[in-house]
Amino acid sequence: MANSTFKGLNAVQRQSLVISLTAFFTSLLLIALVSVLVLIGYRGVAYFWPEPIYLITSKHESGEFPVLANIYRDLSEQEVTLKYSNAKHPYGSQIRIEQGGLDSVELALDSAEIKLKDGRRILALPEYIITPTHAQKSLTEFSAVASEAALITAQIESINSTHLAPVHEALSQFDKRDVVKDAPAREKLVNTFNIYQKRIFALEKQRAEYQLRIVFPNGEGMLVPVASIQDIDFVSRLTVYEKWKVLLSEVAIFLTESPKQANTSGGVFPALFGTVLMVFLMTIIVTPFGVLAAIYLNEYAPHTSLTTVIRVCVSNMAGVPSIVYGVFGLGFFVYTLGGSIDELFFSDTLPAPTMGSPGVFWASLTMAILTLPVVIVATEEGLRRVPEGLKAGSYALGATKFETIVRTILPIASPGIMTGVILAIARAAGEVAPLMLVGAVKFAPTLPIDSEFPFLHLDRQFMHLGVLIYDGAFHSQTDGKSASMMFAACLLLLVVVFVLNILAVILRARLRRRYHKG
C-alpha cells in the first residue's frame, strides 16, 4: 500500500515528505518539552504571586456570602474558584461557583491577607490593635507592637533554653538512675521547674494581650494574637513592584522553612535538604563502586562469554522497574542488614530499631544500586575510548597495569565517568517510588543533620521533594492553593536537578579541556 501511494510522488516530493514527517515529530517533542516547562513554571510561580482580594456578594444557597476572596479563573470555563474567608471559615475555604452567580465583585482595597506563623491565612479587614494596657492602636503601629510581642517571645525562649532545659536534663538523669519520686533533690528541681513555668505562663498571658482585631464582610469581628502573625499584606493595594517584593519574600520562606498545615503551606526546606543530601550520599557511594566495577570489566576481566553475560546483565539492570529496587532495599538493606546491625551493635535499644528502620542511608544505598548500571556503562564507554597508544606509551615507560590505570587511563576516562554520574544524579533526584519504601516520608520532625553527635544521622527518615509532590497531588482536588504548592515543589525539583546537572557538566567540561585535545 505504502508503495502504491508513494508512486504518485516524484523523488523530490518523496524526500520532502520524509523531511516534513521527521521535522513534525521533532517539533512535537519540542512542544511537549516546552509545555512541561511552561506549565510547571507558570503554576509554580503562581503559587508565590500575591492575588488581589475581592469583596464578593452572591445569593448562592450556601449562605457563605458575602466573602473576601481570591479569584482563580479557569481558562475556558464559566465557573470560577473562590478561595475565601468569612466568619464561619476564617482560615479559608474554597468554593466553585458560576460566573453569573456572583452579584458584585469589587476590589477590597482595605482588606488584607494576614499570614499566620502556623501557615494559615486569613482574608479580612484589619481594624485596630489592642495592647495589654487596653489602648487601641492604629494599624500603622503594627510593626512596633509586633516587635514588642516578639521581645516577649524571645524572653520565653531564653527562659526555656537557659533555665528549663537543664532542669529537664537533670530530671531525665534522675529517671535513668531510678531516683525515687519524693527524693529531696528531685522535689527541689520540680520546684524550680514550677517557678520558671509560672514565669513563662505570665509572659505568655501578657503576650496574648497584644491582639489584632479584624472584621469579616458580614460585620463579625475576631481577635488574632499579634504574636501569631507573620505578615499583613494589603494585596489589593500593592503595585506590581511591591508584588514582586512579596513574591521574593514568599520564595525565601518557601526555601528556608518547614512545611506547615500537613504540607499545604509554609516551606519545603527539609525536603530540599533531604533530596540534596540523598543525592550527594548516593553519588559518594555509587561512583567508586561503578568505576571499580567498570575498570575490572574493561581492563582486567578476560574476554570470555562470562564477561559478555555480565555486561548484558548490567545493561538490563538499568531497565528494572525502580519499585523493585525499593522492595529490595526494604527487604535486604533495611530488614536484613539493618536488623543484623541492630542485633550486633544496638542490642540494648531493641526492640526499637536503630538501623533496622528506613532511613536516609538505606535510601541512598538503594538509589546507588539503582543507578549503578548507568555509571558502569558510561565508565566502560569512557575507558574504551582511551587510545591504545597512550596505554602502550605508559607501559613502555615502566608503568605497571595499576599505575597505568591510575595515572593515565582514569584521568582520560574521567569525562566519561562524569557523564555516568550526571545520568545517575538526574535519575536519583527524580525517583520517588523506591524512596517511599526505604526512608522518605511525608513529614520528618528533624533533619538528618543537626548539632548533636554524630551530627549526620544516617538512620533518620527524611523528606524528599518528590514525595512532597506526590503528597501534594492528593490535596489538589480540595485545595487549589496547596495544589499549587505541589507545582512550586515540582519547579524546585526541576531547578535542583538542573543545578546538579549543570555543576556536573561544568566539571566534565573542565576535565575534557584538561585531558583532551582542542
Partner 1 sequence: MLKLFEHNTLSVKDISQEQTAIEVKNLNLWFGNKQVLDDICMRIPKKKITALIGQSGCGKSTLINCFNRLNDLYDGCRYDGEIIIDDRDINSRKVNVSRLRTKVGMVFQRPNPFPMSIYENVCYGLKLQGVKIRRHLDDAVESALKQAALWNEVKDRLFESAHVLSGGQQQRLVIARALALKPDILLLDEPTSALDPLTTLFIEELMDELKKHCTIIIVTHNMQQAARVSDYTAFFHQGRLIEYADSDTLFTMPDKKQTEDYITGRYG
Residue 243: CB minimum distance to partner 1, A? 52
Q: Kindly report each contact of residues 493-498 with a partner whose C-beta sits within 8 Å and lies 24 or more positions away, as own/partner.
A: 493/275, 493/429, 493/430, 493/465, 493/466, 493/469, 494/37, 494/40, 496/272, 496/275, 496/276, 496/429, 496/465, 497/425, 497/426, 497/429, 497/430
**Crossing angle of helices 410-430/480-515, nearest 10°?**
180
- Give the shortest CB-379-to-partner 1 separation in angstroms: 18
The footprint of partner 1 (CB under 8 A) covers 302-303, 387, 389-400, 403, 407-408, 411-412, 514-518
Instruction: State the burial class of residue 172 (Cβ atoms within 10 Å of its Cβ: 0-12, 13-18, 19+).
Output: exposed
Residue closer to partner 1 (CB basis): 129 or 383 = 383
Give the nearer residue to partner 1 in terms of CB position, either 231 or 299.
Answer: 299
- Tell me whether residue 280 or residue 515 sits nearer to partner 1 (CB atom): 515
Residue closer to partner 1 (CB basis): 157 or 403 = 403
Which residue, among 242, 231, 234, has the nearest Cα to 108 in the 3D structure? 234
Looking at residue 227, the DSSP 8-state letter turns out to be: G
User: Shortest gap between Cβ of 340 and partner 1 (angstroms)?
Assistant: 43
CB of 35 to partner 1, least distance (A): 43
- CB 510 → partner 1: shortest distance, Å? 13
The minimum distance between CB 387 and partner 1, in angstroms, equals 7
Question: Distance of CA 73 to CAs 23, 70, 94, 99, 482, Å?
Answer: 36, 10, 13, 9, 16
Q: Are 424 and 283 in contact (CB under 8 A)?
A: yes
- Residue among 329 and 416 whose Cβ is closer to partner 1: 416
Minimal distance in Å, beta carbon 410 to partner 1? 12
Give the relative orientation of helices 360-384 and 410-430 as an angle to the nearest 10 degrees. Answer: 140
From the CB of 76, what's the least distance to partner 1, in Å?
Answer: 59
Distance in Å, CB of 33 to partner 1, minimum: 36
CA distances from 345 to 342, 352, 354, 476 (A): 5, 13, 9, 45
Residue ranges of alpha helices (H) inside 269-359 are 269-295, 305-317, 322-328, 339-345
CB of 395 to partner 1, least distance (A): 6
Spatial separation of the C-alpha atoms in residues 303 and 289, rounded to whole Å? 21
For residue 290, which of 427, 435, 458, 416 has the smallest C-alpha distance? 416
24 or 296, CB closer to partner 1? 296
- Taking the least distance from each CB to partner 1, the nearer of 240 and 396 is 396
Nearest residue (CB) to partner 1, 79 versus 299: 299
Which DSSP string do the residues of 388-407 spell out, in sequence order?
A: HHHHHHHHHTT--HHHHIII
**Under 8 Å between Cβ of 55 and 68:** yes
At residue 309, the 3 state secondary structure works out as helix
* Shortest Å distance, C-beta 403 to partner 1: 6
Q: Which is nearer to partner 1, 9 or 392 (CB)?
A: 392
Neighbours of 208 (CB within 10 A): 16
Closer CB to partner 1, residue 73 or residue 513? 513
Q: Which is nearer to partner 1, 351 or 389 (CB)?
A: 389
Alpha-carbon gap, residue 509 to 506, rounded angstroms: 5
Q: Hey, what's the torsion of the CAs at 368, 371, 376, 379, to 10 degrees?
A: -100
**Whole-Å CA distances, 365 to 178, 195, 335, 443:** 41, 50, 14, 21
Query: What residues pair up with 79 in beta bridges, in sequence order?
Result: 98
